[in-house]
Amino acid sequence: MKQTYHLLGADVAADDPRLPELLERAYTAKVRPLCRCRSDVDLALYIAHRHGGHVLARMPETGPQHAPWCDYYDAPDHLTGLGQVRGSAVVEDAESGETTLKFGFPLARGTARTAPSAFSNEKPPVKSTGARLTMRGFLHFLWDRGELTHWRPRMASKRSWYIVRRQMLYAAQGCRVKGNSLGQVLYVPETFNLDHKDEIVSRRMSQLGPVRSSKDAIMVVVGEIKMLDATRYGERLTLKHLPDLHFFMDEDMARRFNRTFSEELQLWRSHEKEDHLIMAASFSISAKGTPQLYEIAVMPVTREWLPYESLDERALIVKAVGEGRSFVKGLRYNLQESKPIASLTLQDTGARATAVHLARSLPDPAYDEEVAQLMRTPGLAHTVWRPGDALAKR
């Protein structure tokens, strides 16, 4: 099936070389394109100006209405943690193409903000009305919006840190936090190349300008953890592609880090040669140039950079990728670990997508009842999966 749009009175294929010019004209004329993935309903898209060009994006909350095979399909929000934060911590404006984010962690230091408000993957106590993104929730937002949760067989062996970084930066464009561009506070290290070290360091110094010029400014770094080393006073955290800028944790912070993320660290270390461990953290830079960490979240991902929470979920993803399936990976955002989500939504099961719910290894009647409620979601098929089971047929 071919991705096609109705634009300026004509149907245009996604691979049509005229598409960039037509998008520019339609953007200027404020014309709303239509997605042609379904013949029985008109599904409007909007045009956003991002990364030096014009791109098509689905209208907020319309993902489940698209055909399962469509590039703009997405699972219903309430099957994942996105439903908890959309409209409150994540507010999309289709008219302007901007997304406003509300963080549950500070972006400036002060007398009342010398310590992190939370140091866990759970939703922190926020003295405000409405939901705000935790550090993990923000990391999941970048991964989701950058479509790093989407998988097609054609993507095999084509994802690298260069692609992952590019998608996160694309995701950040058009987003605002506290009235400012998200790009001003987000730092994602570029792929390191020894032959271009000086240029890379120069660009990094410019990107870190806000925290280098103000002791009160806080930025967020997202990168892949390379190693954790014990030091005399705590631990040193080194990111890949950032070999000459280390992040230090004192003994207390290192102890809390290892306790809070013991399961994630164990998952990563058990597959360290194949998988990756992603870190998102807020930080400032001291007068001596040393990064000071405040809040951290970590997320293990497969070699395809697909996130997982347990060995069973990793087995599910490995099976789906190995069988050449097309799917969207569900993410938890702020949602607590005790609440179920749809682990995958298969997009290659015919007229209806299939949500795959992971069975718990130990009996839990309350959890099973919540899964049963999720499985009553209309518009798609549902299945419960455990290691050894077959996936829903194509």
The count of other CB atoms within 10 Å of the CB of residue 332 is 21
Can you name the CATH fold of 311-385?
Answer: Trna Endonuclease; Chain: A, domain 1 (3.40.1350)
pLDDT at position 67 is 95
pLDDT at position 355 is 97
pLDDT at position 124 is 43
d(CA 173, CA 175): 5
d(CA 245, CA 337): 33
Instruction: Residue 137: name the closest of 150, 124, 125, 147 by CA.
Output: 124
- As given in the structure block, the two tokens for residue 172 are 């950040």
Map out the domains of the chain as residue ranges.
Answer: 4-65, 79-301, 311-385
Residues 6+ away with beta carbon under 8 Å from 45: 5, 32, 33, 34, 35, 56, 57, 58, 59, 72
Give the three-state DSSP class for 206.
helix
d(CA 233, CA 366): 44
pTM: 0.91
| Cα→Cα distances 201→186, 226, 244, 308, Å | 16, 19, 9, 32
The answer to whether 65 and 349 are in contact (CB under 8 A) is no
* pLDDT by 10s per residue, the chain, length 394: 889 999 999 999 999 999 999 999 999 999 999 999 999 999 999 888 776 788 898 888 899 999 999 999 998 999 999 999 999 999 988 777 789 999 999 999 864 344 444 454 444 443 333 489 999 999 999 999 999 999 999 999 999 999 999 999 999 988 999 999 999 999 999 999 999 999 999 999 999 999 999 989 999 999 999 999 998 888 999 999 998 899 989 899 999 999 999 999 999 999 989 999 999 999 999 888 889 899 999 999 999 999 999 999 999 999 999 999 999 999 999 999 889 999 999 999 999 999 999 998 888 899 999 999 999 999 999 999 999 999 999 9
- As given in the structure block, the two tokens for residue 250 are 């004192």
Instruction: Residue 356: name the closest of 376, 330, 334 by CA.
Output: 330
